[in-house]
């Protein structure tokens, strides 16, 4: 079984949805201005493929419960508040994560490589294309 093939894409996941609660409006504006300047610079440099904040509200679906349930998805310090999808190496993604303007206020940044296929597929020693072909033959 081989390691999953990674792409040149890496995702930064910004965790913590209450990091700004102790900041004054002026402090929050300063942090958010630094954040937007950071994102704008990375975008101009061609390093950002996508970036979006995520709502604090949503649904979590589990098999055990058999139905959608209201969030939160995790403790607020573990909830994902947004992401950047970067077109850089893993080492550069880590360095970019270290620049996050909200780190000192409690946000954590998880750096994850984007892989070609779900790592569970490695157990089958198949690719998605193999499954597509099998599915088409069965139809």
> What is the span of the domain harbouring residue 51?
6-138
- pLDDT digit string (tens) for 89-134? 999 999 999 999 999 999 999 999 998 877 777 777 777 777 787 7
Q: What are the tokens at 137?
A: 């033959």
Q: Is residue 70 part of a domain?
A: yes
Q: What is the dihedral of CA 121, 124, 126, 131, to 10 degrees?
A: -80
Contact 107, 81 (CB under 8 A): yes
Q: Is residue 124 part of a domain?
A: yes
Q: Is residue 45 part of a domain?
A: yes
Of 121 and 86, the one with more pLDDT = 86
- pLDDT digit string (tens) for 19-61? 999 999 999 999 999 999 999 999 999 999 999 999 887 777 7
Prediction pTM value: 0.79
Q: What is the pLDDT of residue 133?
A: 78
Q: Is residue 44 part of a domain?
A: yes
Q: Is residue 1 part of a domain?
A: no
| Number of separate domains in the chain | 1
SS3 label, residue 72:
coil
Q: Is residue 26 part of a domain?
A: yes
Q: What's the CATH number where 40 sits?
A: 3.30.70.1060
């Amino acid at each position: 079984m081989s390691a999953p093939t990674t792409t040149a894409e890496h995702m930064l996941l910004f965790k913590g949805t209450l990091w700004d609660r102790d900041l004054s409006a002026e402090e929050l504006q300063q942090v958010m201005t630094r954040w937007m300047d950071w994102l704008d610079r990375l975008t101009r440099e061609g390093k950002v493929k996508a970036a979006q904040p995520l709502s604090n509200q949503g649904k979590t679906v589990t098999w055990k419960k058999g139905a959608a349930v209201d969030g939160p998805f995790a403790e607020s310090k573990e909830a994902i508040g947004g992401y950047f999808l970067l077109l850089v190496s893993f080492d550069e993604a880590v360095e970019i994560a270290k620049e996050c303007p909200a780190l000192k206020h409690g946000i954590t940044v998880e750096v994850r490589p984007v892989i070609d296929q779900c790592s569970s597929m490695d157990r089958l020693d198949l690719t998605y294309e193999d499954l597509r072909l099998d599915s088409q033959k069965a139809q």
